[in-house]
Structure 1
Amino acid sequence: MASQPQHAAPAARQIPWMTEDLEMFQDTVRRFIERELAPNEARWAAQGYIDRDVWRRAGQAGLLCASIPEEYGGGGGNFAHEAVITREMARAIFTSLGNNVHSGIVAHYLLNYGTEAQKKKWLPQMASGEMVAAIAMSEPGAGSDLKSVRTRAVREKTANGDCYRINGAKTFITNGYHADLVCLVAKTDPEAGSRGVSLIMIETRDLEGFRRGRILEKIGQKGQDTAELFFDDVLVPCENLLGEQEGQGFYQLMQQLPQERMIIALGATASMHRAIELTTEYVRERKVFGQALADLQNTRFRLAECKTEATIAATFVDDCMMRLMAGTLDAATAAMAKWWCTQKNCEIIDECLQLHGGYGYMLEYPIARMYANARVGKIYGGSNEIMKELVARTL
């Protein structure tokens, strides 16, 4: 009888929402990352932001607004295309291109709530990379609690027509350094609580009263520009309001946040599997006490635990993906996916780093960068404590 190989390759996990077309798209995304993005990641991490022309090249390659209809310049796909991009970015340990915010979030606010004129004006420019988009939610004194934002948008008549006069400050804004288009969360009626929140689209080029603060220095995801934004008596046409009337912003946010949280969960699950893959390769080569580290029972058991939890996470997220694409994913389940997957991602990467020993603490090793990059997952998109509160309200 022929002997079996010591390390048989595991069967590939079947992804229920993956199609042949998506596999072809995945290859395109992977090649673009390997050719255009990965070789520059260290340089972009050092400067704190990617080069502006990368956005145009990503647009030409079809990575921007892949799930937006072709009539608005998009790729004509669905959310699964965004999921493929997210997974491939995580697999490549690449975080500098803030496409999840640009294409997976802002573009869909426009698609779902924008007027026909707004969609035709901004979506094609976003799809081509001519405009970079950001969403401005968090403030110095308000993070996950969006009802508490203090940025004000006051309607007034001007010589150029009805405008909003906007005053306020935003922080932790992904794509803030390059942003040409900002989806701003502001209070149009401070006395109305959540019903006084509105979303207003702001074109930043040559906009009087708008300024960018410093690029914020982070412990991870260093190449993804994160900036402060300031609005001092900024005048924006009232026609830039997103939605049929003021006060719909909180509802719009609650409707779209499950998709944002799924993007985060997808990235976390892909990251877990990549960490396990890298660590498995490392422990097979690393010698300890005259034998491979992988031959020690503790190593095998630790990796077995990690693989089990990563598989559970991926299976759950796949189910959520199917529900999202069918329009049946509820906010509480999306919150479960976001908090549990980001928590497990941090735990699994920590276990994998430990198995690297001292080398795991060296930034030249991918696992060290993954460790730093993963931590924010438990914070952005709504902190995990807020996610648990959303789940608890359904009990």
Structure 2
Amino acid sequence: SPLQAEQLGTKRLEPSSAKSLLDIGTRKIFSSDHDIFRASARRFFQEEVLPFHAEWEKDGQVSRELWEKAGQQGLLGVAIAEKHGGIGADILSSAVVWEEQMYVNCTGPGFSLHSDIVMPYIANYGSEEQIKHFIPKMVAGKCIGAIAMTEPGAGSDLQGIRTYAKKDGNDWILNGSKVFITNGWMSDVVIVVAVTNREARSPAHGISLFLVENGTKGFIKGRKLNKIGLKAQDTAELFFEDVRLPASALLGKENKGFYYLMAELPQERLLIADMALASCEFMFEETRNYVKQRKAFGKTVAHLQ
């Protein structure tokens, strides 16, 4: 509980008082349980990710085996409720995973997007059948998730998307394209944001979400994109050409997709900010260690500043 966390946190150091910003046991928002989980996550990233990351950067993707190992380690779906098949921990436990990945400077695994962006949509808005079908497999790392919002002509402005799903009896026919989709190449299921009512009084009132599984006829994965960074992260173009989807592929209610996106985006932005901060902490410590060891003109660089 928050009270227990506060009580446990009274004896904890703030990072500014610790030997290193990466020390386990700092920050009063975390508890001893978080510390135990952090130690486990840190060991996983140091042993299962760091030694192989350079090779994955050449491949443009991580291995599927890594995803299943992460599932076995309990690092996926951490904050998803147990009743849905998740781990049932809190958002701070999810933050531990985000941060520890950044502390090894390995950006390839798309665990955070999979666990804390894609899965909450299914857990919060999905039907019982959708939850049972996807969540346990996603927690196990056997089903990789992605979300397809960005298009060549629409990114931050979600009301400008052109991908369109038209009703055909009880089915939907999906057409359009998406770009810069994280986990796109390896994805087994993609949440696709599409217009479903072109006559809506505003674009926000005519957007829906669909679950599109890999292998669905007309769902085409384009090339993995070459990027200046995040090279081991499989970022892809996705194309939808007359993709026929059953009514059961609709995630949540028809034309409510924009509201679901607005409800979930704040946590997604928090995730990105925390990962960016953790990455900065890692680079700060790398720099500090370097200037303490590197010698020039008979002194360490730190003594010349």
* TM-score, normalised relative to structure 2: 0.90
SS at 1:239 equivalent: helix
**Which residue is equivalent to 1:200?**
210
CA distance in structure 1 between the partners assigned to 2:118 and 2:28 by the alignment: 27
| Stretches of structure 1 lacking an aligned partner (at least 5 in a row) | 1-7, 298-395
| SS at 1:33 equivalent | helix
Q: Which moved more, 1:129-138 or 1:53-62?
A: 53-62
- Report % sequence identity: 45
Q: Could you tell me whether the CA contact under 8 Å between 1:59 and 1:127 is conserved in 2?
A: yes
Q: Which of the numbers 224, 228, 237 marks the counterpart of 1:219? A: 228
- 1:225-240 equivalent positions in 2, closer than 5 A: 225-240=234-249
Work out the CA distance in 2 between the residues paired with 1:238 and 1:164: 7
| Cα deviation digits, residues 43-76 of structure 1 (max 9, x gap) | 0000100111211111111111011122322111
* Counterpart Cα distance in 1 of 2:190 and 2:256: 17
1:287 to 283, 287, 295: 295
Give 1:93 shift: 0.4
Partner of 1:139: 151
Instruction: Name the CA distance, whole Å, in 2 between partners of 1:227 and 1:200.
Output: 18
Q: Distance in 2 between matches of 1:90 and 1:125?
A: 25
Matched AA of 2:291: V
SS at match of 1:190: coil
Q: 2: CA distance between counterparts of 1:35 and 1:282?
A: 23
Count of equivalent residues? 284
Contact 2:53–2:106 at 8 Å: present in 1 too?
A: yes
Q: Which runs of 5+ in 2 are unaligned?
A: 1-17
Deviations 1:87-108 (Å, cap 9, x if unpaired)? Answer: 0001110111101110011110
| Equivalences for residues 221-260 of structure 1 within 5 A | 221-243=230-252, 245-260=253-268
The Cα RMSD (Å) is 1.5
Q: Is the 8 A contact 1:72 1:120 kept in 2?
A: yes
Deviations 1:179-209 (A, max 9, x none): 11101110001232111111111112x3111
Residue 174 (structure 2) aligns with: 166
What does 1:57-76 correspond to in 2, within 5 Å? 57-76=69-88
Q: For residue 142 of structure 1, report the CA deviation from its aligned partner.
A: 0.8
SS at match of 1:191: coil
For residues 165-187 of structure 1, give each alpha carbon's deviation from its aligned partner in whole angstroms, at most 9, with x where no partner exists.
00000000001111111011100
For the 8 Å contact 2:144–2:188, the answer to whether it is kept is yes
Aligned-pair CA distance for 1:10: 6.3
TM-score relative to the length of structure 1: 0.70
Contact 1:155 1:238 in 2 (8 A): no
Q: 1: CA distance between counterparts of 2:159 and 2:63?
A: 35
Q: Which has the higher helix share?
A: 1
**Partners of 1:73 and 1:128 within 8 A in 2:** no
Q: Which residue of 2 aligns with 1:155?
A: 167
1:374-385 maps to which residues of 2 (within 5 A)?
A: none
Which of 31, 42, 56 is the aligned partner of 1:44?
56
